[in-house]
């Protein structure tokens, strides 16, 4: 994940590029074209997870338009702030 830190709205930087390995194999590099909705945060189920007591509880969600050499699509990325880990939640090819 490549991020730009030019926007204080994003807790660990604004997503600008990411790599995805689909089930069929191969690696695809996507460039983020636009953030389609305001980002939002949800609270993790802290009682089910083994994290330090002072770990951030939020998981940020981003709905984005992205493209690669294989096409473009709308996707949702999630950022687990405590673990500093991004995950692809949904992808719809366009």
34-56 per-position pLDDT tens digit? 888 767 788 887 777 788 778 78
The domain in which residue 17 lies consists of 2-93
Domain count, the chain: 1
CA distance 39 to 51: 24
Indicate yes or no: pTM above 0.85. no
- Mean pLDDT, consecutive 10-residue stretches, the chain (94 aa), reads 63 78 83 82 80 81 88 87 84 69
């Amino acid at each position: 994940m490549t991020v730009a830190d030019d926007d204080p709205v994003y807790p660990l930087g604004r997503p600008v590029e990411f790599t995805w390995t689909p089930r069929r194999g191969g690696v695809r590099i996507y460039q983020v074209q636009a953030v389609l909705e305001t980002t939002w945060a949800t609270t993790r189920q802290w009682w089910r997870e083994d994290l330090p007591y002072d770990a951030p509880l939020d998981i940020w969600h981003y709905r984005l338009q992205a493209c690669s050499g294989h096409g473009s699509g709308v996707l949702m990325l999630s950022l687990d702030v405590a673990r500093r880990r991004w995950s692809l939640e949904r992808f719809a090819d366009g």
